[in-house]
């Protein structure tokens, strides 16, 4: 059976979508645009439901065990889908990448500021020192851009 584009009541929507009436009421009271003119529109409802689930917010529901089980199943399915689609990144990998960039930036700072700068700045005027500082800034930003590139591949 095809799912309708809209429903006339919370009860009809709940029966058709298997979404708790308490959740629908929460979305409606929260100002969801899915509830317009006495009707409930499917596309906007699903979009608002995704946003609601993404926030992880809890609602004061009727306390039924069935609803709690449904929410837990949805949460687990979302996690499994994210894992299957490789949208989850292991925390250890993130930490290792950040540590690697921090080590490179530390090396650049130490080399430039402790070793090169005293000798380079000795014979420079203010303008020359600013140019040297700009080069140092560029080297550091380049390392951070490499980190950004890690997440876009």
DSSP one-letter string for 75-143: HHHHHHHHHHTT----HHHHHHHHHHHHHHHHHHHIIIIIIIHHHHHHT--HHHHHHHHHHHHHHHHHH
Q: What percent of the chain has pLDDT over 70?
A: 92
C-alpha 35/C-alpha 118 separation (Å) is 68
Low-confidence ranges of the chain (pLDDT < 70): 1-2, 59-64, 152-153
Q: What is the pLDDT of residue 1?
A: 53
DSSP class of residue 7? E
3-state secondary structure of 19: coil
C-alpha 6/C-alpha 32 separation (Å) is 14
pLDDT tens-digit series, residues 90-134: 888 888 888 888 888 888 888 888 888 778 778 778 888 888 888
Q: What is the pLDDT of residue 73?
A: 92
């Amino acid at each position: 059976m095809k799912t309708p584009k809209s429903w006339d009541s919370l009860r009809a929507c709940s029966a058709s979508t298997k979404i708790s009436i308490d959740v629908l009421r929460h979305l409606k009271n929260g100002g969801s645009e899915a509830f317009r003119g006495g009707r409930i529109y499917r596309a906007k409802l699903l979009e608002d439901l995704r946003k609601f689930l993404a926030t992880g917010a809890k609602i004061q529901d009727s306390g039924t065990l069935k609803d709690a089980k449904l929410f837990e199943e949805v949460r687990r399915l979302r996690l499994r889908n994210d894992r299957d689609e490789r949208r989850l990144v292991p925390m250890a990998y993130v930490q290792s990448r950040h540590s690697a960039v921090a080590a490179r930036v530390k090396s650049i700072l130490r080399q430039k500021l402790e070793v090169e700068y005293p000798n380079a700045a000795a014979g420079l005027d203010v303008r020359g020192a600013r140019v040297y500082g700009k080069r140092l800034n560029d080297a550091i930003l380049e390392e951070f851009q490499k980190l950004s590139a890690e997440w876009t591949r």
